[in-house]
A and B are shown apart, each in its own frame.
Chain A
Amino acid sequence: MTVSLKVNGTVRTVPAEPDTPLLYVLRNDLELNGAKFGCGLAQCGACTVLVDGSPVRSCVTTVGSLGASEVTTIEGLGTIATPHPLQRAFMEEQAAQCGYCINGMIMTAKPLLDRTAHPSEEEVRTALAGNLCRCGTHGRIIRAVLRAAEEMKRN
């Protein structure tokens, strides 16, 4: 059986059952490395992607549930050469230790900055509260999100 889904602006058709978690299709069929398998139970946030602009846990989102929705992964935000302000801010703040959670941090922060141009530190903390980082990089992650907000405000 095949399933079609729109990822980063392109419709892709993959051989998968409709109940296949989106994360596996992204990683294994589309070979997108950004979203990570962390817990597989929607508890850690490492697999976060955007569906129609809202953050979802791709490990528990089935491909069959997407319909015509737009999936955006961190690859769709920017590249090393032309990074999204969030990606650039995370590089500039060196806001990663092992880095495994960072996809989720960025993909959860993105909709926050899209709807809140001037988030307070408290708002950033609240938005990212469901994303776990075991290395303890929280301080830098929050600085990076606030830095990205500053940069996006300027542009």
Chain B
Amino acid sequence: MAVPTLSRREVTAGLGAIVLAFSLHPRSAAPQQPAPLPGSLQRNRMLDAWLRINADGSATVFTGKVELGQGALTALAQIAAEELDLPVSRVAMISGDTARTPDEGHTSGSFTIEHSGTALRLAGAEVRGILLELARQRLGVPVDALVASEGIISAPDGRKVGYGALAAVVDLHREASAKVAPKPARKHGIVGKSAPRLDIPRKVTGGVAYVQDLRLPGMLHGRVVRPPRYGARLDDLGKNASPENVVAVVRDGSFLGVIAEREE
């Protein structure tokens, strides 16, 4: 899961901005509507908005859906790992970081697998196809004869090339076609099996796991001051309405909000 710490944001802010600028606006300058794509690919059409292959042969997966304890990130990691022929442990999930991930709107209504899962399944299959094609060029063996497993593509004669070596030459900054068939269910080795939740270790050791754990520079805390009962009318703030550390008191009729440097 993406944990927007300061340092990482600083390091990746430029990269993320570039990715988004291109990924959300595909090159197509054609006047006609782009071809419809399944799931969240429709609105986030570039392969590299979803998947990157790293120099060590691992993959980084981007999703606009977030972990709410429903196991979404684990399931999405399984889907991506399945199509890429990588173990789940070699798939890093970046989630819900608006500077880096696809805009998939809400995480709600049981749409995560349908929308994000569909996109990752198809993008994963397509990326795997691209990697196999690059391996074919490098090894001179037809794609049908190549076997991909755990991030290594092998030819029948035993020669191998890893995803990491292909990562340097693969260009995933292209629009998804959604035309590469994902694996049929009978070939699934990762999807359909229970996997340990990726978010639980952090949640039982005090790691960063919730939106409440974000700490941004200069962050202020806002609270609504609730009345004692429905329909109560705010008469007067009294004299002590702006104690120390309070940055602003917002009043709109009987609505009262306080913005302060400290939470208490």
Contacts and interface: CB of A to CB of B under 8 A. Distances in A.
Interface of A: 20-21, 24, 27-28, 31-34, 36-37, 73-75, 77-80, 83, 87, 90-91, 94, 96-100, 102-103, 106, 135
Contact of A80 (B196, B197, B202, B213): B202
A78 B205 CA distance: 7
A48 to B, nearest CB: 12
Q: Is the interface of A mostly helix, strand, loop or mixed?
A: loop
18 contacts: A24-B264, A28-B263, A32-B206, A34-B205, A36-B210, A73-B206, A74-B204, A74-B206, A83-B204, A87-B204, A91-B196, A94-B196, A94-B197, A96-B204, A98-B68, A99-B203, A102-B204, A135-B69
B201 interface: yes
A103 B202 CA distance: 11
Contacts of A32: 206
A36 to B, nearest CB: 7
Given A74-B205, A75-B205, A97-B69, A36 B212 contact: yes
Contact of A34 (B70, B196, B200, B206): B206
Contacts of B215: 31
Contacts, number: 72
A80 B201 CA distance: 6
B2 interface: no
B205 to A, nearest CB: 5
Contacts of B204: 74, 83, 87, 90-91, 96, 99, 102, 106
B103 interface: no
Given A20-B264, A97-B69, 10 more contacts: A28-B263, A33-B206, A33-B210, A33-B213, A34-B205, A78-B205, A83-B205, A87-B204, A97-B70, A99-B204
B192 to A, nearest CB: 17
A28 B260 CA distance: 13
Contacts of B203: 96, 99, 102
Contact of B69 (A27, A36, A75, A96): A96
Interface string B64-100: 0000111000000000000000000000000000000
